[in-house]
Chain A
Amino acid sequence: MSLFFQKANPMQHDELPHRTLPIDHDGLTLLDNVHPPAWQNPKPADSYNLVIVGAGPAGLVAARAAAALGAKVALIERNLIGGDCLNVGCVPSKAIIRTSRLYAEMRNAENFGARVPSDASADFSIAMERMRRIRAHISRGDSPRRLSAEGVDVYFGEARFAGPGAVAVDGKALRFKKALIATGARPRTPSCPGLAEAGYLTNESVFNLLERPQRLLVIGGGPLGCELAQAFCRLGSHVIIAQMKPTFLPKEERDAAQILSDALTRDGVEIHLNTEVIAVRTEGGQKIADLVSDDNKFSISVDEILTGTGRTPNVEGMNLEAAGVQYDTATGVLVNDFLQTTNARIYAAGDVCLKHKFTHTADASARIVVQNALFLGRKRLTALTIPWCTYTDPEIAHVGLYVREAREKAIPVKTFTILMHDVDRAVTDGEDEGFVKIHLREGTDRILGATVVARHAGEMINGLSLAISSGIGLRALARVIHTYPTQAEAIKMAADAYNRTRLTPTLKSLSRRWLAW
């Protein structure tokens, strides 16, 4: 039986995800919000202050901000409003991660002083139904009707630049003073022989599954691969993850990657590090993957293969050459620090041009573009403090410099580490895996960066991002009253540890003398 209502063949990048959406009530609601079938494109204005190509997070933020400030804005989307984040990324993945966490906790109920439910086996279809309902619910905020009400002209169709100052869509020319390219990115196509013929899932198709794959091979140990490997494992699939590098999340700290590896193993994920999938074939309805790790070659049989091996910017098909916009198919649209392309009237934001392909960086970059393009702003991309988080359990969040980066720049760095098992709330919550590491410029309290590994690291990192972006030192954080008991108290504990290092022998001696009464 097909796992999809409408099963897709091996994904092609130009294939529209909505073609494989389950056509149930939530699927129809989602489509009605993000690509209404009966939508009529408006009559173009004579000229727009800002024409935006792509209605993902960057495009939406820029459209709303510009319109709110009185600009005449056109927003063009060829597929689904909301982009990857809403439709095939953050929103659906976090919804199923939440369900998978619940199942994991049910199975571990005894660790929390509770009885394990008589049936803690996962119901995959209910989990996916919930995900679709939540996605449809959240999509309401981005509907073209609402955008129109906010003053944005919404167009559906393929956008092609018709010169340095005009974009054609649906047979109409939209003239612009300024334009923004925000077309996002798509899953990178793995080059593994036989994979395309056998068929595989990406983030663009995995959330359309209706049945749980009994055996799932995840190729790639980056954020997507790790998050979904853990989630599907907790939802009952036998998950095998193959990662070419010696650790998961290779950009993260060694200890963070090790804790994640331990967590995946604990959950039952079959881990193969230093392992490459070299070929895939189909036999008897099963997918057979050949793997190699150093000189060890072996094969595994699975029902589905999910790839998470990076993202490719969407730069094709827009006739960027006609607009004088330079791009690279691997790195995306070429921009300067002000997010201006090689056509001074055209800007880019989000995944199509950024190294850090996150929804929040798309948002931040879009705000830079609105200021720079419409209000003579000189906001710089490099001035941003960008945190990120991998939503495994525990989560792994980071902001600022890594120690390695600081040392490569010859910046002396010292790290203050607090273990979550020393944080009261983490202990009471039974969530004491992980740590907070805050990297300081040695000899000062200036925060260069931080890594948090904790159940709610994504929430905790925000306080540290605020400190970095506002120039608040660790010493000042020690003076901030943190509510007790919270897991974020770990940050205060790190600040207290820093303050203790300031207590030099001389100061201790003086203090003792003062107290000799």
Chain B
Amino acid sequence: MTEPCVLSDGDLLDGFQRAAFNYFVQECNLTNGLIADTTREGAPASIAVVGFALSSYPVAAERGWMTRADAVARTLVTLRFFWNSPQSEHPDATGYKGFYYHFLDMHSGKRLWHSELSLIDTTLLLAGVLTASAYFTESTPKEMEIRELADALYRRIDWQWAQGGEATVRQGWKPDSGFLHYGWDGYSEATILYVLGLASPTHPLPNSSYAAWTTTYQWENIYDSDILYAGPLFIHQFSHAWIDFDGIQDRFMREKDSNYFENTRRATYIQREYAQRNPHEFKGYGEDCWGITAGDGPGSKTLRIDGIERRLFGYVARGVPYGPDDGTIAPATVLASLPFAPEIALPALRHFCRRYPDVVRDCRIPSGFNPTLASGGPSGWISEGYFGLDQGIIVLMVENYRSRLIWKLMRESPYIRLGLHRAGFAGGWLS
């Protein structure tokens, strides 16, 4: 295979995007459409990863990586599984109240690992379902069935129940203990959750729930940049994978004379600024080496490296500038930054290709690497295998950068438009 660093920008991105998409082909159970959370042995299915997969099939069909018929078939088997899988309070069910458990058995589809009925992961799954509905618009029986199932799945979700009697939605629920103790506090990836919840044709969240959530926002001046703060970069990206926030504003952003697209651009620059300042002197950090977010890490341990005590983490939400930060770089989040700040994301990607070729081998992106942990090469520790969420955000964000396909599809979704309207968004393409 050609070395990535010699490719043109277009070919480079095509290579990474297609390699990321191949994850969904390789890690899919074709009998139910479920996608493994990671490539690691025994990994369960992740419903959020399925959402990314459903959103990726239209990309693959458009780019000729998969026939439309194949994309339809994979989508349909997935939607049929979720529609027909057990919904009940039983601990082994697949879901309840229209929501789904975070992790499912790849084969039986039953709940795994005592995982929670996850609101955000169900939302990401639903975003994929609605993307499929928006793309497969032909009048064939199969594409009609996709749209009918998508609508039925959406209508089944009881968003009001998910408030648990509170002003805002809860993060999750478990059959033995009820709602998790905590809700969403501060800016997070939950924007799309509220948009879809507000637009529900059957059990909509009250508009006041979004207002209550955004009351917890903090507008900060960090490194001379005004920003709606959140530490991990994925928070600034996940809702944006489906919704084009460029030029539209809710009440909060109107007050701040900004928008969420611009906010993500600033968050990206803060990542680079932090890496350049490199307060904890991690190896590798610099102008073209940043990307600190949720992801895999070297594991929970404390080591003394070059005379400095380093506390390392496993899979955690790393963030800047407050941390936690253990020197682990997540290259997928750099690719996901392309629509917002390509002028710094592309140089960073090329830097990874040149400096850390074993990290980007065959254009496949691992969850993280940590150059501070010395090993045979400059990359240091490299996460084993690949994670579905990383591959999904790469496929969607590279596509949004290249053609805006997902954004265009979702702009036409009446549910997205209604949810944004109810959340108080106006202006730009919503006008």
Contact = CB atoms under 8 A, between A and B. Distances in A.
A356 interface: no
A267 B280 CA distance: 18
B309 A110 contact: yes
B279 A421 contact: yes
A421 B285 CA distance: 16
Nearest to A258: B322
Interface in B291-312: 302, 304, 307-309, 311
Interface string A397-434: 00000011001100011111101011000010000100
A262 B219 CA distance: 24
Interface in B205-259: 215-222, 224, 226, 229, 231, 255
A255 B255 CA distance: 24
A266 B311 contact: yes
B233 to A, nearest CB: 16
A274 B181 contact: yes
B324 interface: yes
B255 A407 contact: no
A471 to B, nearest CB: 22
Interface in B302-356: 302, 304, 307-309, 311, 321-324
A435 interface: yes
A294 interface: yes
Interface in B84-122: 114, 116
B70 interface: no
A246 B307 contact: no
A262 B224 contact: no
Nearest to A498: B221
Contacts of B277: 421-422
B114 A262 contact: no
B155 interface: no
- Interface size class of chain A, counting residues whose CB lies under 8 Å from the partner chain: 35 or more
Identify the interface centre among B216, B304, B308, B322: most chain A CB within 10 Å of its CB.
Answer: B322
A179 to B, nearest CB: 43
B174 interface: yes
Contacts of B140: none
Contacts of A254: 185-186
A483 interface: no
Nearest to B179: A294
A440 to B, nearest CB: 9
Contact of B221 (A265, A403, A412, A417): A417
Contact of A111 (B182, B309, B321): B309
Contacts of A408: 215
B224 A500 contact: yes
13 contacts: A111-B309, A244-B181, A245-B182, A246-B182, A259-B322, A262-B323, A266-B311, A274-B182, A295-B175, A403-B217, A414-B226, A417-B221, A422-B277
Interface of A: 108, 110-111, 244-246, 253-255, 258-259, 262, 265-266, 274, 292, 294-296, 403-404, 407-408, 412-417, 419, 421-422, 427, 432, 435, 437, 442, 497-498, 500-501
